[in-house]
Structure 1
Amino acid sequence: MLSLLNRRWTIKNTSDLPLKHKVFANRGITEKEEARFLRPQFFQHCHNPRLLKDLEKAAQRIVQAIQHKEQITIFGDYDVDGITSTAILLKTLHHLKAQVNYLIPHREQDGYGLKNYLIDQLKSNGTQLLITVDSGITANAEVDYANTLGLTTIITDHHEPPTQLPPAYAIVNPKQPGCAYPFKELSGAGVALKLAQLLLEDFFEGTDVQNIFEGLLEMAMLGTIADCVPLVDENRIICQYGLGLIAQTKSVGLQSLLKISGLKEKTTLSAGDIGFVLAPRLNAAGRMRDAYTSLELLLNPSAEETNALAQLLNQFNQERQVLTQKVLEEAEKLLDTKQKILLVYSPAWPLGVLGLVASKLVEKYNRPAIVLTNKDGKTVASSCRSPDYFDLIGTLRQLESLFVHVGGHKKAAAFTLPLKNLNLFTSQLYQLTEQLLDHQDLTPTLEIESLIQPSEITYATLELLKQLEPHGVGNKKPLFLLEQAIVQESKTIGNYQQHLKLKLTKDNTAWEAIGFNLGYLHEQVANLNSLDLAFSLEENEWNGSKKLQLKLADLRISAS
């Protein structure tokens, strides 16, 4: 039976184990692993940076450049992962007294990654050592061109490598063939952090590495959460430490951003605060203007200037929200929902919000989504997103001959292709995905940890669940199933009555539940005697009073 939101529920653990054991088992946490998962020590539990292929080679070349006063340029990217990766290496190299500058491409004007004309600019500005962050792994022709100009290139990246790697001096990417690093899912900022760690520990004697490193951990945490890499293993450790630092951050720019975002008074921040509040503001600069506004905020020591920059980012984010909704509504009208992959195109759409629209389409339809726009009259640019079950980059690379450029991950990718190839690409993509997804059930699903009994909905359970934070991809916030809860009251709340508020009972225990943006279900729910609830457990504080609250993810009619 489908839920009221037309989703199929799957329960991960139906055993009779205690709730804690079920939740831990769902995450593969054994008794041996429990201490590392719950109480990790950064330098003890993170992997040795030297296991990253070419990392020592890259670090030694950077030190050589510093000693010979060579001009170093960091080439970044315009999303939060790229911006924070740039900031990590800039801060590190400034501490090392390097001659270093940076370049971040413009999303609309330059597009993603290295371009020959940008390399020409770097050469004319005196660059001798070029270091890419969060990009470069597919820039074979561009690195070859840089070599002909006498530039040395070091690539640091985390995207999926192509079959043939670029001819760079060193490539630092845990996913490349022959790399012994045991954790493959670092963000771009995570890779930059490992390079910074090695430089600070081995090549900068006498420095208080820990104080410097704390600021870099904040940056790596921001990039890791914003890029939606799995929050497991080393990513979890980076985020736990970074989240522990950021509420009391020494960064003037982050203090300004916390203030404008309404998070300044919070004593602790969650991954949700980063992913849904801070990261969208940092991302908005690259989406609506250029990413330098965000990078300057992270680097600038002047509170007066960072306050102004934070206000600007807040304005960009508001503009981004309006534009995203407009494009989403237009895209929905163009969808061919008979296809197993969603593809929509309009030459009028701005490139900066395509990824957001694609993500929303995936969330609603549980299908891969590609949103396209016309970049320059001759070239189509895209942003692509996918559910867990579909390998997006693997599929696109089967059509690689049609593209100018393609790159990304299993769940997120981007490409450009000549406008003249669009119709051929569309027909071939539909044929390919029809074969690949022939037996795939496209019904949206909701993954639930386990059944929960009324006696288990307690503050003790809430404290247990808090130990699992930070939540994100690979470690989602636990959802539980409470069956046959009696509906005592249903009403709508909010400025536009858009939220659903319920009073529920079962086994002589009462709770309140909140369903954000589920107000449209009120009349249907009010006429039901009992409901099955999929919810997360949280604490609600109002007028100084605290109590447990069920945050609804979905509802279904109880079986009779």
Structure 2
Amino acid sequence: MTALCRADRLKIVRPSASARLLAERENCSLLAAAVIEARDDLTAEAPFACPSMSALIGELDLGRGASEAAERWKKMKNPGRVLVYGDYDVDGAASTALAMKICRGAARTVRFFIPHRHEQGYGLHKSVMEQLLPMGWDTLIVVDCGSKDYEILDEAAASGMNVFVFDHHQPEEGKPVHWSIVNPHCGGGDEESRSLCATGVLWAWAWKYGIVSERKIMEMADLAALATLADCMHLGDLNKEIVREGIASMKGRPGPGLAKLFYHLGLSARGISEESLTMRVIPCLNAAGRMDIADTAVDVLLGGRGSEEGAEALVVLNKKRQLLSGRISDEAMEILSGPFNHVALGEDWPVGVLSGVASRICSVNSSPVALAAPVKEGIRGTLRVPEGGDAIKVLDSISSLLDGWGGHQYAAGFSVSRSNWNDVHTHLEEALSSMELEEPEITAL
């Protein structure tokens, strides 16, 4: 399937005389100079200048809770027995691995738990925490989720645990935000910090507040880079630097697990690029949580024992995911060509691959789409909207019908009981079919 652009939204730009002068002055290609000029990125003397990583981190405002979390961290004599609770996509796996690496050497022991996509689903779960908390943990670190889970976090803190949450998901409007949360979207964060993924939030926090040395945190830039690209975060100055440093790290000295994954994919570490990461490496890391358990991806990112077998397993899982996604995509497109153009339920679809399929359909059709499938007694779905839409507003309007929901402006997930599905289906179809979208202008050279 190929995405099309309307002719009236296509802006054709030819390199100008000023672009030629810029190319000569900066010793860059005419193409690079024309792109800068077309994007209005041209500044007086140094269009290619970018602040240093230290300067970017120093100016960053991660929002309320960030400095307090750093103070609490530094007051601990040591984290003791640490439990890291994560999520099953690449950002969740990478932030889990990053939290564990930050704790190693200081903590007595570090373990992680990631809920099963099909069994538990996204986020903190009271039933799971009731099993985990009595195991004697001293510190709980929650990554890539938790912003909506005030009561669960409060119970964990009341039990005597040190609680830290690093997230980038939108909090629920009108609901209290727990004091343990570091999330730029929960108030006070600047524009740069709100463009960070969860791994980026934790990585930047650890650097800014001296939780670990700059040298050590730079060695972990590969994790932040992978998560940034996987979550398709806006590449502002800080994210560009994170990706650049992360790729440089992977080119020069990739972790043992990533090196094995590169090998099984036939990739040379020196040839690693944004394209090879997004098209080859990240889909394999994502396949763990979609087709099996995300633990395999975390093990590969940590590079410990079993990472070679894990890397090989990721490649196999991704091949299975590709075949399954192709079939589901065809079936979904057929359903969406009928009376309902935006919402589709597949009784035999595995939930793990729906987000990827929905993203593809949304991109190709430039139209919002919701795909859902049965999970145990209920139904779980994924919602994708094009630029200009707002998935959070759509789900917030029907939150009383949902068992749970969350996500970002353009991508969100939800769970609903069987008894409420028909109403949810109707409301979603109405909301998505009436969504007003302004197709973005595309500039071409």
The structure 2 residue matched to 1:53, chosen from 59, 64, 68, is 64
- 2:41 corresponds to 1:29: yes
Q: Identity, % of aligned pairs?
A: 28
In the alignment, what sits opposite 1:63? 74
CA deviation vs aligned residue, 1:456-484 (integer Å, no higher than 9, x gap): xxxxxxxxxxxxxxxxxxxxxxxx3xxxx
Distance in structure 1 (CA, Å) of the matches to 2:4 and 2:11: 19
Distance 1:229 1:217, change over 3 A: same
Task: Give 1:353 shift.
Answer: 0.2
In the alignment, what sits opposite 2:360? 360
Task: Give 1:247 shift.
Answer: 1.5
Greater length-normalized contact order (CA 8 Å, ≥ 6 residues apart): 2
- 2:443 corresponds to 1:449: yes
When structure 1 is superposed on structure 2, of 17-26 and 55-64 the one drifting more is 17-26
CA deviation vs aligned residue, 1:472-512 (integer Å, no higher than 9, x gap): xxxxxxxx3xxxxxxxxxxxxxxxxxxxxxxxxxxxxxxxx
Residue pair 2:199, 2:223 contacting (<8 A) in 1 also = yes
Distance in structure 1 (CA, Å) of the matches to 2:105 and 2:96: 14
The structure 1 residue matched to 2:54, chosen from 34, 39, 43, is 43
Task: Give 1:33 shift.
Answer: 8.5
Distance in structure 2 (CA, Å) of the matches to 1:446 and 1:181: 21
Distance in structure 2 (CA, Å) of the matches to 1:310 and 1:45: 34
Task: Give 1:149 shift.
Answer: 4.2
- 2:91 corresponds to 1:81: yes
CA deviation vs aligned residue, 1:58-85 (integer Å, no higher than 9, x gap): 12223334x1554322111111101111
Greater radius of gyration (CA)? 1
- 2:313 corresponds to 1:312: yes
In the alignment, what sits opposite 1:215? 219
Distance 1:46 1:195, change over 3 A: closer
Distance 1:20 1:272, change over 3 A: closer
Distance in structure 1 (CA, Å) of the matches to 2:140 and 2:176: 14
Question: Which protein is richer in helix relative to its size?
Answer: 2
Distance 1:97 1:69, change over 3 A: closer
The structure 1 residue matched to 2:6, chosen from 8, 13, 18, is 8
When structure 1 is superposed on structure 2, of 414-423 and 9-18 the one drifting more is 9-18
CA deviation vs aligned residue, 1:287-307 (integer Å, no higher than 9, x gap): 1110111111121345xx322
Mapping of 1:322-471 within 5 angstroms?
A: 322-336=323-337, 342-377=342-377, 379-437=378-436, 440=437, 448-450=442-444
Distance in structure 1 (CA, Å) of the matches to 2:262 and 2:51: 26
Distance in structure 2 (CA, Å) of the matches to 1:125 and 1:5: 51
Distance in structure 2 (CA, Å) of the matches to 1:145 and 1:347: 37
Q: Which amino acid is 2:42 matched to?
A: T
Distance in structure 1 (CA, Å) of the matches to 2:44 and 2:120: 49
In the alignment, what sits opposite 1:161? 171
Residue pair 1:218, 1:243 contacting (<8 A) in 2 also = yes
Secondary structure of 2:373's partner? Answer: strand
Secondary structure of 1:436's partner? Answer: coil
Secondary structure of 1:169's partner? Answer: coil
- 2:308 corresponds to 1:283: no
Task: Give 1:331 shift.
Answer: 1.3
CA deviation vs aligned residue, 1:359-404 (integer Å, no higher than 9, x gap): 1211221111111011113x11011212112111122111111111
CA deviation vs aligned residue, 1:426-468 (integer Å, no higher than 9, x gap): 222233334433xx47xxx785434xxxxxxxxxxxxxxxxxx
Task: Give 1:128 shift.
Answer: 3.3
Q: Which amino acid is 1:24 matched to?
A: I
Residue pair 1:160, 1:407 contacting (<8 A) in 2 also = yes
- 2:117 corresponds to 1:107: yes
The structure 1 residue matched to 2:295, chosen from 281, 292, 295, is 292
Q: Which amino acid is 2:168 matched to?
A: H
Task: Give 1:249 shift.
Answer: 2.0
Mapping of 1:205-244 within 5 angstroms?
A: 209-244=213-248
Distance in structure 1 (CA, Å) of the matches to 2:83 and 2:63: 22
In the alignment, what sits opposite 2:137? 127
Task: Give 1:47 shift.
Answer: 4.4
In the alignment, what sits opposite 1:139? 149
Secondary structure of 2:266's partner? Answer: coil
Distance 1:33 1:404, change over 3 A: farther
Residue pair 1:253, 1:300 contacting (<8 A) in 2 also = yes
Secondary structure of 1:162's partner? Answer: coil
TM-score (norm 2): 0.88
Secondary structure of 1:100's partner? Answer: strand
Distance 1:181 1:70, change over 3 A: farther
In the alignment, what sits opposite 1:191? 201
Residue pair 1:49, 1:197 contacting (<8 A) in 2 also = no
Task: Give 1:38 shift.
Answer: 5.2
Task: Give 1:181 shift.
Answer: 6.4
CA deviation vs aligned residue, 1:330-366 (integer Å, no higher than 9, x gap): 2122114665x61110221111100011012112211
Task: Give 1:50 shift.
Answer: 5.9
Distance in structure 2 (CA, Å) of the matches to 1:171 and 1:194: 15
Distance 1:47 1:186, change over 3 A: farther
Residue pair 1:73, 1:101 contacting (<8 A) in 2 also = yes
TM-score (norm 1): 0.71
Task: Give 1:34 shift.
Answer: 4.5
Distance 1:69 1:212, change over 3 A: closer
Residue pair 1:382, 1:414 contacting (<8 A) in 2 also = yes
Task: Give 1:131 shift.
Answer: 1.7
After superposition, the CA RMSD in angstroms is 2.6
Task: Give 1:157 shift.
Answer: 0.6
Distance in structure 2 (CA, Å) of the matches to 1:419 and 1:41: 52
Question: Which protein is richer in strand relative to its size?
Answer: 1
Task: Give 1:314 shift.
Answer: 0.7
Residue pair 1:40, 1:237 contacting (<8 A) in 2 also = no
Residue pair 1:49, 1:195 contacting (<8 A) in 2 also = no
Residue pair 2:379, 2:418 contacting (<8 A) in 1 also = yes
Task: Give 1:242 shift.
Answer: 0.8
Number of aligned pairs?
430
In the alignment, what sits opposite 1:544? none
Distance 1:316 1:16, change over 3 A: closer
- 2:273 corresponds to 1:263: no
